Structure 1
Amino acid sequence: MRATVIAEHGGPEVLEWREVPEPVPGPGDVLIEVTASAVNRADVMQRQGFYNPPPGDSDYPGLECSGVIIEVGANVPGLAVGDQVCALLGGGGYAERVAVPWEQVMPVPDGVSLEEAAGLPEVACTVWSNVFMAARLRRGETLLVHGGASGIGTMAVQLAKAYGSHVVATVGTHLKGAAVAQLGADEVIVYREQDFAEKVQADVILDIMGAKYLSGNIKALKTGGRLVVIGLQGGAKAELDLRTLLNKRATVHGSTLRSRPADEKGAICRGVVANVWPLISAGAVRPVIHARVPMAEAAEAHRMLDSGEHVGKVLLVR
């Protein structure tokens, strides 16, 4: 079997497509012949040496995939050899085959190709678990999405809009802003030109920046607002004036997805299948694909992500 290996920590050039041992599925796993995977910010961080996979998960990058089941463990219910699926992974998606706990395996939604489905699990599970399960976004409320043109951002904009929310997104350029507006964002803020904290009052904020945006996020929250921090691209440490937080009766929720146990990931996946997949099948939400890159050329896909010029997901296809 071949997979993308991180030869050493560094730039995209450290990614090497090479022969590796076959994955060995356990009794609660399925083995998937991978059709496609997708690049996520966590893969970039792992490549740089800042985000190791959880114990027991594959060392190869790749937090999602789509493909066909070729082996089913003895303790796996409801799945069979030949099923076309997509899956949320702890690692190992940049490979020809990957073993994954059955709880994290989902059917391909109607209206989406098997290849396109590779770009759905990570973003759909992240947005559903954080914006809707944790922050409890409701119809008529305002959601502020930072990084609106990212894979997670494009999914958050569409899902929140489909559920009847007012959506505001921050982006880096006017070109990205136009793309996000086409996905349904009611307001777009180019963060290089405007201070979002002076422009928005939000019920829920989905934040990928962390420390750099903390004070601005608290300022932008309405009374009773909920801030969900899912990334640290702007640093990990910041000061917080707790008086503002208390006066607004606001909450700050920190979250990661990769390190959760399989049963928790499974509950999220079931929520996605029940609540997100129907919207995709109906055409209200769609995967946003920036580019398709051969899996053996993962370094080029990482360069695309590093450039910051992408809108949506970069797929790795076989």
Structure 2
Amino acid sequence: GGNVVLYTCAEPGSEGSKNQNWAIRNDYTIRMGLTEFCLGLKMNLKTSNFNYPYANLTLVKCDSSSAEQKWTIQDGVAIRNEYYGYCIDAMAGILEDNQPLIGYPCHSQPRDNQRWMLPDSWSCFDDTTFGDLDPPPECTSDIVGTLKNQDGYCFGTNIESPITPSNPWTWVTYQECDGSAGQNWRLEYGQIMIDKNPDGVTGSLCLATDGGDPGLSFGWLYVHECTGKSDERWYFEGSIMRNNGFVRCVGSKGEDALGQTPTTEPCLFGYRNTTNNELPPVKNFNMTYPADWQC
């Protein structure tokens, strides 16, 4: 066991190359050579200098039933852990010998410290849909309702940029709840849709999240014509509203949120780690939605 670090590549077949050989297996674990050790993540709570808590990349005894040991390939170059939704990252972006390798929220588009040259055979494990290996159920409900953040603001379509037949999309904003059509939503097979379309707009309009700017680990919510892609798929558990595609949870800006666009952020505070009691959930993931939407 132990933590994994970055190191200059040894000559193939040399003694030093033995602990630099890795193989991804059909159970989505990454094993070191012919040993019994696989890559895993261990959350590090001493993370005051980082935007998000990071995880140490460690060697652990292989366990194909452990979600913390399952990995997929994102964008052909990044290696993402399917439990935390984190990518393997060179700490602080420093690429030099003995630099610790960590798990950190995946950038919307991988930067150098999350880009890896991978064997061609690893492309079979490319997660082209950005979805979970074992996605949660896709729920359907007859209940039409509102989505609220912890301050009681409703999710609504942007009234300053309304949806029209020629422009069938807009950003979502936090609004005072008033029962207007743009604040009423329904749930169908994991997709959240506007219950009643604006006049002249045909087809279903779905809530989705974008990937954000390339260097960021969060995105913004908007409404557009439904496509069925994973960035429109949602799952509810307790007070948590999670996007199944980017494996991010809906956050909130807090009391100054009125008029702003809700974000989706790494779920580590409010979803993944609460089951292990590693990190406490924080206020900004507390959502209110129809109780019947959780299945």
User: TM-score scaled to structure 2, two decimals?
Assistant: 0.27
Highest relative contact order (Cα 8 Å, sep 6+), 1 or 2?
Answer: 1
Q: Which has the larger radius of gyration?
A: 2
